[in-house]
C-alpha cells in the first residue's frame, strides 16, 4: 500500500490540526460526553432512571455507529468538507434539542442526534492528515487531533460547574461553541478531489476490513469502548452516590479532560518507544484508573488521581489506535478509522447498557471493577511484535478496485 508523497509546510499543518481539534472537542467533549457530565441534574428534573440513562447513552453510540457507516461513502464521494459540516449541524441541533427538552423522550432524541456528529467528524481527518501532513509529522498531528476530546471535556467541566444546576443553559453554551467550531472546521476542510481521488479507492469488502492484520485492532477497540463508556456515562453519578458533592464530581470530570490533553504527546512517545509499547502502557494505565475509581470513590484525592490517569490514558489509547489504524488501513485511512470507530462503538453500546442493569444489583464499585477487567482484556490484543509484523507483511487484503 503506497504512502502518499506530499510535503506540507507549517501553515498547512495548522489548517489541518487546529480545526480537527476544535471539531473533536465539540462532537466528543460536548455532544457525546456532555450527557454524562450533566446527567444527575437531568435525571432529577426529567425523571430519568439509571437503566433509562444507560439506554439513552447507548442510543447515542448507536447513532454514532450509523454515522460511521455513512461517513465512508460521504468522504469518498463528496470529500471531507461535507461530513465535517454535517457533523457541526447535528452537534449543534442535537444539543439544542436536549437544552429545550421537557421530557426524558425529548432529551433522548437530542442525545441521539448529537451522538451522530462524532461519527461524521472523526474519520475524515484520517484522510486529511494522510494527504496534507508530511510522514514525519503525522503521528504528532494525529495524536493532537485525538486530544480534542480532552479539550472539550476540559471546557465542559467548568461550564457545568459555573452554571451549577442550570443544565439547560450549559447545553446552550455548548451549542454556541459548536456553531463557531463548525464554521471554522468546514471552511478549512478540503473540498472534493483535494484528497484521495475516486480512481484509487478499493472496493471496501468485508475481507478488507477484517483480516489477520486488523483483527487485534478491532477487538481492542471493542473492549476499550465497553470499559471506558462506563466512566463517561456514570462517573459523575457514581461519585455523587459515594458522598462527593456535585462540584467535586464535576471537578474530577473536568480534570479528566485536562489530563486528556497530555495525550497530544503520545505521538512523540510512539516515535520514541514504539507503537506496541505505547499502546500497552496506555491500556494498562486505563485499567488502573478504572480500578482506582472503583475502590477510592469516597476519597477526593484518589478520585482526582484516577480522573487524571483515566483522561490521559484513554486519549493515549485512542491516539495509538488511530496511528495503528493508519498503518493497517494505509490505502484508505478514513475507511479504516471508521472501522475501528465502529468496533469501539459496539463496545460503547454494550458498556452503558450492561452497567445500567448491574448498578442496582451490585452497585457502582463492582460495576467499575468489571469495566476495568474489560479494558484489561484489551492488553492481549495489541500491535504486533517485530516477528509478528514480519509474518503479517506477506498478507495482502483482498479488495476489488472500485467501479466508476
Q: Are 84 and 185 in contact (CB under 8 A)?
A: yes
Q: Are 99 and 163 in contact (CB under 8 A)?
A: no
Alpha-carbon gap, residue 147 to 226, rounded angstroms: 20
Residue 360's contacts (CB-CB under 8 Å, 6 or more residues apart) are 50, 51
Give CA separation, 339 vs 116, 282, 346, in Å.
15, 21, 11
**pTM, two decimal places:** 0.73
% of residues, the chain, pLDDT over 90:
31
Residue 6's contacts (CB-CB under 8 Å, 6 or more residues apart) are 131, 132, 133, 134
Give CA separation, 194 vs 76, 77, 128, 333, in Å.
11, 12, 9, 15
Alpha-carbon gap, residue 261 to 146, rounded angstroms: 9
Return the pLDDT at 357.
82
Among 126, 157, 148, 150, CA closest to 139: 126
As a whole number, mean pLDDT of residues 186-200 equals: 66
Alpha-carbon gap, residue 370 to 238, rounded angstroms: 14
202 grid coordinates: 478499493
Looking at every residue in the chain, the average pLDDT score rounds to: 82
Return the pLDDT at 404.
34
As a whole number, mean pLDDT of residues 51-76 equals: 84
Q: Look at residue 303 and tell me whether its pLDDT is greater than 50.
A: yes
As a whole number, mean pLDDT of residues 4-28 equals: 74
**Tens digits of per-residue pLDDT, 255-295?**
888 888 776 666 677 778 888 898 999 999 999 999 998 88
Taking each helix axis from N to C end, the angle separating 148-162 and 138-146, rounded to the nearest 10 degrees, works out to 20
As a whole number, mean pLDDT of residues 79-88 equals: 93
Point out which residues pair with 202 in neighbouring strands: 401
Neighbours of 48 (CB within 10 A): 20
Q: Write the Ramachandran bin of 363: left for phi over 0, alpha for psi from -120 to 50, otherwise beta.
A: left
Q: How far is CA 138 from the centre of its chain?
A: 19
Alpha-carbon gap, residue 381 to 219, rounded angstroms: 7
**Tens digits of per-residue pLDDT, 173-183?**
999 999 999 99
* Residue 402 pLDDT class (50, 70, 90 cuts): very low
Alpha-carbon gap, residue 169 to 130, rounded angstroms: 39
Return the pLDDT at 21.
92
169 grid coordinates: 443553559
Alpha-carbon gap, residue 350 to 229, rounded angstroms: 9
First to last CA, the chain: 21
Q: What are phi and psi of 195, to 5 degrees?
A: -120, -135
Superfamily of domain covering 10-191+207-389: MFS general substrate transporter like domains (1.20.1250.20)
Q: Are 76 and 198 in contact (CB under 8 A)?
A: yes
**Tens digits of per-residue pLDDT, 98-155?**
999 999 999 999 999 999 998 899 888 888 887 888 777 777 787 788 788 888 888 8
Name the CA dihedral angle for 141, 142, 146, 147, rounded to a multiple of 10 degrees.
-30
Interior angle at CA 229, CA 280 and CA 208, nearest 5: 65
**Tens digits of per-residue pLDDT, 307-363?**
999 988 988 898 888 888 877 777 777 777 778 878 887 887 788 878 878 887 888
For every residue of 368-401, DSSP letters joined together read HHHHHHHHHHGGGS-PPPHHHHHHHTT-----PB
Alpha-carbon gap, residue 99 to 23, rounded angstroms: 20
140 grid coordinates: 504528532
- Grid-cell match 472500485, residue found: 402
Amino acid at each position: 500500500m503506497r504512502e502518499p508523497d506530499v510535503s506540507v509546510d507549517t501553515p498547512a499543518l495548522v489548517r489541518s490540526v487546529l480545526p480537527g481539534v476544535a471539531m473533536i472537542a465539540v462532537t466528543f467533549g460536548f455532544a457525546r460526553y456532555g450527557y454524562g457530565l450533566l446527567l444527575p441534574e437531568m435525571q432529577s428534573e426529567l425523571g430519568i432512571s439509571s437503566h433509562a440513562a444507560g439506554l439513552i447513552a447507548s442510543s447515542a453510540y448507536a447513532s454514532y455507529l450509523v454515522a460511521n457507516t455513512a461517513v465512508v461513502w460521504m468522504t469518498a464521494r463528496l470529500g471531507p468538507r461535507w461530513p465535517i459540516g454535517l457533523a457541526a449541524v447535528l452537534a449543534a441541533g442535537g444539543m439544542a434539542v436536549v437544552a429545550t427538552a421537557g421530557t426524558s423522550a425529548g432529551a433522548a432524541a437530542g442525545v441521539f442526534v448529537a451522538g451522530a456528529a462524532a461519527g461524521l467528524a472523526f474519520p475524515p481527518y484520517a484522510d486529511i492528515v494522510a494527504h496534507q501532513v508530511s510522514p514525519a509529522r503525522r503521528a504528532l498531528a494525529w495524536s493532537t487531533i485525538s486530544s480534542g476530546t480532552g479539550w472539550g471535556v476540559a471546557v465542559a467541566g467548568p461550564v457545568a460547574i459555573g452554571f451549577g444546576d442550570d443544565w439547560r443553559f450549559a447545553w446552550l453554551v455548548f451549542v454556541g461553541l459548536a456553531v463557531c467550531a463548525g464554521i471554522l472546521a468546514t471552511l478549512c476542510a478540503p473540498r472534493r478531489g483535494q484528497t484521495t481521488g475516486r480512481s484509487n479507492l478499493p472496493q471496501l469488502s468485508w475481507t478488507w476490513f477484517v483480516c489477520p492484520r486488523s483483527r487485534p485492532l478491532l477487538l481492542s477497540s471493542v473492549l476499550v469502548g465497553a470499559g471506558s463508556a462506563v466512566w463517561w456515562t456514570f462517573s459523575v453519578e457514581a461519585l455523587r452516590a459515594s458522598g462527593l458533592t456535585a462540584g467535586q464530581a464535576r471537578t474530577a470530570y473536568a480534570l479528566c479532560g485536562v489530563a486528556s490533553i497530555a495525550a497530544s504527546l503520545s505521538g512523540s512517545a510512539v516515535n520514541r518507544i514504539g507503537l506496541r509499547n505505547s499502546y500497552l502502557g496506555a491500556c494498562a494505565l486505563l485499567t488502573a484508573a478504572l480500578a482506582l475509581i472503583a475502590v477510592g470513590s469516597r476519597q477526593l484525592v484518589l478520585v482526582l488521581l484516577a480522573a487524571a490517569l483515566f483522561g490521559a490514558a484513554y486519549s493515549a489509547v485512542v491516539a495509538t489506535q488511530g496511528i495503528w489504524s493508519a498503518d493497517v488501513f494505509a490505502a484508505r485511512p478514513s475507511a479504516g478509522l471508521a472501522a475501528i470507530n465502529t468496533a469501539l462503538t459496539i463496545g460503547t453500546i454494550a458498556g452503558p447498557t450492561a452497567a445500567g442493569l448491574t448498578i442496582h444489583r451490585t452497585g457502582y464499585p463492582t460495576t467499575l471493577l468489571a469495566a476495568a477487567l474489560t479494558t484489561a482484556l484489551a492488553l492481549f490484543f495489541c500491535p504486533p511484535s517485530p516477528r509478528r509484523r514480519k509474518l503479517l507483511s506477506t498478507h495482502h487484503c483482498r479488495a476489488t478496485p472500485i467501479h466508476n
